[in-house]
Structure formats: C-alpha cells, structure tokens
Structure 1
Amino acid sequence: MNRSCSHPALAQPPSFSPREFRDALGMFATGVTIVTARNAAGKLVGLTASSFNSVSLEPPLVLWSLAHGASTMPVFANGSHYAIHVLAADQKALAQRFATRGIDRWAGLEHRPGIHGAPLLAGAAATFECFNRSRHQEGDHIIFVGEVERCAHRQGVPPLLYHGGKFYTEHPL
C-alpha cells in the first residue's frame, strides 16, 4: 500500500523566544575558529566564528556562516579566498580579541600570508585555506562554502571549545 504524507507548505511560527533558542543552541559544544582574509586594498580582516563544519571530502569542502550586518561581510562576500583557523586550547585570548568590536585585532599579532594572501595566524590547531566557492542566504546569515586548497594541523594539540557561553578545553573520557 502506498501512502503519501502531507507536509505543511510552511514551518509553524516558533513557540520560543530568541533567547530560549540561543540558550538551546549553546548546549551544542563547538570548536572555535577565526576566519581571516584581505580586502581588495590589502587590509587584514578577521573574526571569531563557531559556525564551522565539514561538508564534503571529495571535493574537500567546509562551511561557516556570518551575520548579514557584520562589518566584514563585504570582504568575505566579494573576496575569492579566506583562511579558517581552528584554535588551540591556549588561544582563548585570541578568540576573544577577534570577537571584540572597535579594536585593532591585528596589532602586534604574528601572522604570515597564505597561498592566496589570506593571513595565517600562528599557533592554530588546524588551518584551512579556502577558495570562496559559494554563498547561501538563509535567515539573518550568509552560509559560506569554502573549497579547501590547503590544510595543515598540529598533532596532539588540544582544541579550544565553546559551550554554554564559556570556553573549555578537551578532556578525554
């Protein structure tokens, strides 16, 4: 017997507040990343992001997202390359620095240019140098899909984690 399911054409309105949604999302522990690039004039930009995930092994794809209103949106939306840094457990101060508005995030910071000029930060647990393959508008964010052209990682370096509004480091069970 073949039964068809009827699906609603639209999602139901949320039964929760934005704060409740944010608090529920905070229960998902994530790694912490910094995404960096250069604008057309060569100025360095970067931000802390926890919305990072793998997409595909073949081709090698990763994703991350950025709010529409972010001051760095034009650089990432129009640029061809960026670098994603998975932070090491000892880089909490760096995560906070790149999450702070109104400061020079690059002052005195050690970095070097990647294969397409995106700055690479010293000390990260892993780095992914990406071609800006596609962008997808969803809600109040743009989802960036990067095609990884080069990656590296440091063996045995514990990552920086974020859960419930606090930073953690890993502790094997």
Structure 2
Amino acid sequence: MTEMPAEIQADHYRKVLGHFITGVTVVTGIHDGEPVGFTCQSFGALSLEPPLIFLCPSKSSTSWPKVAESGRFGVNVLAHDQTQLGRGFAQSGAAKFAGVEWSAGRSTGAPMLAGTLGWLECEVETVHEAGDHWIVVARVLDLAASAGRGPLTFFRGALAGMN
C-alpha cells in the first residue's frame, strides 16, 4: 500500500484535480438594488426530491456575501461562445455587468444572463464551512434550458468551448 504524503502541495493538488472537466456558471444576485455575480465552476445537481443544487464559492470571494445576503440567487450555465463573459465575472471588483444583457428572474429577481445554455433560480437551504470554501445547498425554484449549443468548460486551468 502506498503511503500518502504528509502534506499535499496546493499546486500539485490544483494540477491533478484540473484534469476533471467541469461546466462553467455565473452565479448572480441583487445587492442594494444592483446586480452582482461571480464565475463558479464548483456547481452541480444534488437532489431530485426535493430539487437541490450545490455550489462552492471561495471564502475570499467579495461577491458571494453580496449574492447570499438576500438568500436567493441565479445560476447561469454558460455556452461555448461565452468565454469572455466567464472571464469577466471571474475578475474581482470589475464592472461585471457593463455591456451584459440580462433580465430579472421571475422567482428571485436575480439576473438571468442572455444567451446562456440555461438558468436556475435558487433559495439557500444551508451553508457549510469547508476549508477555504463554502458549500452552499440551495432549493431550485425555477429553471429553463435552451438546446442546440455546447457548454463552456473548465479543464486544466483553462476555459474552452465545446460545440
């Protein structure tokens, strides 16, 4: 049996786990009457009954606390041609919504970004502390998807579109 190293190095950990491909989302909300959001690849389906999702924002995120304050948010699943959108929402402190077309979600009022593969409107059920991230479990209130386009993915530290 192989022994585990005493300490896993962060760069090695990131490199190895970067071999697992994920989709890319933008999590959005309204804070003090203004749209806020951030790029999030740590997202997934959790439960069918009840309909639950999870996402894992970093504790260092300045956007997540603003999104979380209302307890309701949107998740926008990015399409293959939305690389710039994903990069824009990954920037801290940037004017992320400048030039971005969106409409208010029916259930939460959270920004639903134009041209995405799909969107979900969610309400926070619980938040767990986990290392340098939060694990957010949320109930899905409404959702929709469009067909005919491929996803934006994150693989080996890079965004890539898949047709």
Deviation at 1:14, TM superposition (A): 4.8
Deviation at 1:16, TM superposition (A): 2.4
CA distance in structure 2 between the partners assigned to 1:14 and 1:55 by the alignment: 32
The alignment of Structure 1 onto Structure 2 pairs a total of residues equal to: 159
Answer with 123-132 or 75-84: which moved more.
75-84
Q: How does 1:14-163 map to 2 (within 5 A)?
A: 14-39=6-31, 41-115=32-106, 116-163=108-155
Deviation at 1:150, TM superposition (A): 0.6
1:81 aligned partner, one-letter code = R
CA distance in structure 1 between the partners assigned to 2:65 and 2:74 by the alignment: 16
2:91 aligned partner, one-letter code = T
Give CA deviations for 1:78-104 in whole Å, capped at 9, x if unaligned.
322100011000100100110112320
SS in 2 for 1:67: coil
What's 1:164 paired with? 156
CA distance in structure 2 between the partners assigned to 1:59 and 1:86 by the alignment: 21
Unaligned runs of 5+ in 2: none
Give CA deviations for 1:38-94 in whole Å, capped at 9, x if unaligned.
11x112110001000110011111111111121123223432210001100010010
Q: TM-score, normalised by structure 2?
A: 0.91
SS in 1 for 2:76: strand
Check 1:148–1:161 CA distance in 2 against 1; reply closer, same or farther (3 A cut): same
What's 1:7 paired with? none
Kindly report the root-mean-square deviation, in angstroms, between the aligned alpha carbons of the 2 structures.
1.5
Q: TM-score, normalised by structure 1?
A: 0.86
Q: Work out the percentage of aligned pairs sharing the same amino acid.
A: 36
2:86 aligned partner, one-letter code = A
1:64 aligned partner, one-letter code = L
1:165 aligned partner, one-letter code = G
